[in-house]
Each structure stands twice: as structure tokens, then as C-alpha cells.
Amino acid sequence: MKTSDQEILTLIQDPLSREMGFRQLIQTYQKKVYHVIRRMVLIHEDADDLTQNTFIKAYHHIDRFQGHSSLFTWLYRIATNEALGFIEKKKKRFFFSIDDYQEKLESYVDQAGNLDGDQIQVKLQKALLKLPEKQRLVFHLKYQEDLTYNQMSEITGTSVGALKASYHHAVKKIELSLTSE
Amino acid sequence: MNKLPKIQEFKAPEGYFENLPDQIMSGIQPKPNFGWTKWAAAAVLVLGLGFWQFGLFEPKTAELTFEEESELYIESQYWTAEEILSMSEDPNAILDEIIQEELAFTENIWTEEEQTWF
């Protein structure tokens, strides 16, 4: 565990400095947590809600944190759970709704300004959206965040072998998607 | 792997991270405990009992309440699920409630088999 994590946890454990410690935890990890969620849900307003939920859950369950992993992998586990649960809920809701969540995300990618009009980025984001959510998450954790498979295994609770295979499939699908268009 | 370009991050609105800790902390702070609410509740209870004692409440009519009437329409399948949702002020809240009740998997999404990762 990093020293800063230790300092944050020490502050949180003392009732007198608990709030200050938690504020420090938010300031340290807010950008990482926000971006891991934003990559999955794309829309800022959704990412904002889920980021806040992640930290609120962390606050209520911080006493259960054993320190066997880093605070960052523990927070990522909560954040990715929030994001995947949110997407699953949106897809189930589509049963009653006219708007398709997938289409909504694709049109968000198309909107001018969101990706500075970079056509390669638009194609790449659309290729990513075609992946199953968990595979997309594995791809981001490895390709964007450059996490080790062991860290990813801690976050997802999935074996290293399964994660390697998942990442390999994701890369192949993205390459195929980019070359076929 | 070199064939794939670096993925551009979606940007957060300007100033977002400066305000986020305050927003989160305000969501965490326990709600103020209004000591007077229990006295107000007790007063309402005493007044209610008083009105009941002196028979000031109107006797119940045999008419159905809106809720009972709605249930009757639903049970007789006169109204469909879509119609009921369209009548609601906040259909999303109803759907969220149904999903929460029916889908326990959202509590722990990682317990699914590893095959789902492919």
C-alpha cells in the first residue's frame, strides 16, 4: 500500500479527522474514478452520478477495507460495479422504452465537440461500444490504464487467464471493426 | 497491438473536480436532527385522537379511493403496463423500483461465471 493511502486511512480511522481524511481520499482518486466510469457510460451526467455514488458507498464501507489491496483497486471495484450495474439497468429498461441505450451512446459519440471531431476517435469509440460491457471494461483497464492482470483480477474478481483471453478477444474485435469499415 | 491508436479521453466540464469533493461530502453529511419533529408528531397524534373521540371525522363513504379504483382496472386488465407507466409522473422511478426488486444480480455483478467475459 502507498504511504499516502496509509496517511488517508489513519485520518479516516480517527473520528476527529474522519471527514478530512475522506476528503483527501476523494481529492486523490476522483479523477481516476471518474474516468474509469466515464469510459464505460460516456455521458458526463451519468458518470458524475456514478462517481458520487462510488465515493458515498466507499465512505459507508471504508471500515470493511482490510488493506490487503490498495485503496485504488478497492475504489475501482466499487466504481466498475456501479458502472456495469448502471448499464445493465439501462438495457433492461429498454424493454419498456422507445430509446435504445446503445443508440443513445453512439449518437453521443457522433455529437460534435465530444471528441473534437476526430473521425478515427469516433470510429474507435463506436468499435468499443460493440464489445460486451465487461470486455470493454477489461480493454480499458489494460489498454488505457495499463494495469497489470493481477490488479485487474483484484478489481474484477476474475482469474488472470480469463482476463487475458478477454483482452485478446477485445483487441481482435476492435481491429476487425476498424479495418472492415 | 500497435495498430490501435491511443484513445482520447472524454473531458470533464471545467471546474468539475474542484467542486466534486464538496458535492460528495454534502451527500455524506448526516441530515440535521430536528428535535421538534417528535413533539410535532406527538401533537398531531393527540389532536387526531381528540377529533376521533368527539366524532369530528366524517364517516367513510362506500366510494372507492383512486388507488383502489386503479387496482381494479389493473386486475381486470383494462389498463396495460404501458398505459399505467404513461400515467405516472415519474415512470423511471417505478421501473427502477421493479428492477431493484426483481434483479438481485445488481448487488454483486461479479459473481457471474467467467464465460461472460468473452
The 3-class secondary structure across chain B, one letter per residue, is CCCCCCCCCCCCCCCHHHHHHHHHHHHHCCCCCCHHHHHHHHHHHHHHHHHHHCCCCCCCCCCCCHHHHHHHHHHCCCCCHHHHHHHCCCHHHHHHHHHHHHCHHHHCHHHCCHHHHC
Most B CBs within 10 A among A42, A89, A146, A180, hence the mutation to make, goes to: A89
**Residues on chain A touching B3 (C-beta within 8 angstroms):** 175, 178
The half-sphere exposure of A93 on its side-chain side, counting CA atoms within 13 A, is: 19
pLDDT greater than 50 at residue B113:
no
**Is A110 part of the contact surface with chain B (CB cutoff 8 Å)?**
no
Question: Which whole number is the average pLDDT over B60-74?
Answer: 69
The half-sphere exposure of A87 on its side-chain side, counting CA atoms within 13 A, is: 25
* Residues within 8 A of B (CB atoms), A 87-106 only: 88-89, 92-93, 96
**Residues on chain B touching A59 (C-beta within 8 angstroms):** 28
pLDDT greater than 50 at residue B116:
no
- As a whole number of angstroms, the distance between CA B26 and CA B17 comes to 15
Query: What is residue A53's predicted lDDT score, i.e. its pLDDT?
Result: 96
Query: What is residue B50's predicted lDDT score, i.e. its pLDDT?
Result: 72
pLDDT > 70: what percent of chain B?
A: 57
Most A CBs within 10 A among B18, B22, B28, hence the mutation to make, goes to: B28
pLDDT in tens, A55-106: 999 999 998 887 888 999 999 999 999 999 999 988 877 666 656 888 888 8
**Residues on chain B touching A163 (C-beta within 8 angstroms):** 117
Residue written as grid cell 451519468: A46
> What is the full DSSP assignment across A58-120?
HHHHGGG--SSS-HHHHHHHHHHHHHHHHHHHHHHHTTT-SS-HHHHHHHHHHSTTTSTT-HH
**Residues on chain B touching A121 (C-beta within 8 angstroms):** 5, 7-8
- As a whole number of angstroms, the distance between CA B97 and CA B84 comes to 15
In sequence order, the 6+-apart residues with CB closer than 8 A to the CB of B36 are: none
Give the residue from A54, A57, A62, A60 showing the smallest Cα distance to A36: A54
Q: Assess contact for A151 and B44: CB atoms under 8 A.
A: no
Low-confidence ranges of chain A (pLDDT < 70): 1-3, 94-99, 112-117, 181
| CB pair distance less than 8 Å for A34 and B103 | no
Closest residue to A134, CB basis, from B20, B21, B117? B117
Query: What is residue B101's predicted lDDT score, i.e. its pLDDT?
Result: 66
Query: Is residue A155 within a helix (H) or strand (E), and if so which, with residue range?
Result: helix A149-156
Output the CA torsion A10→A13→A14→A17 (10° steps). Answer: 70
| CB pair distance less than 8 Å for A44 and B24 | no
Query: What is residue B105's predicted lDDT score, i.e. its pLDDT?
Result: 42
| CB pair distance less than 8 Å for B117 and A120 | no
| CB pair distance less than 8 Å for A175 and B96 | no
ipTM of the predicted structure? 0.85
Q: How far, in whole angstroms, is CA A35 from its chain's centroid?
A: 7
Average pLDDT, chain B: 71
- As a whole number of angstroms, the distance between CA B101 and CA B19 comes to 34
- As a whole number of angstroms, the distance between CA A179 and CA B3 comes to 10
pLDDT in tens, B38-62: 667 777 777 777 766 666 665 555 5
Query: What is residue B106's predicted lDDT score, i.e. its pLDDT?
Result: 42
Q: Say which DSSP state A42 is in.
A: -
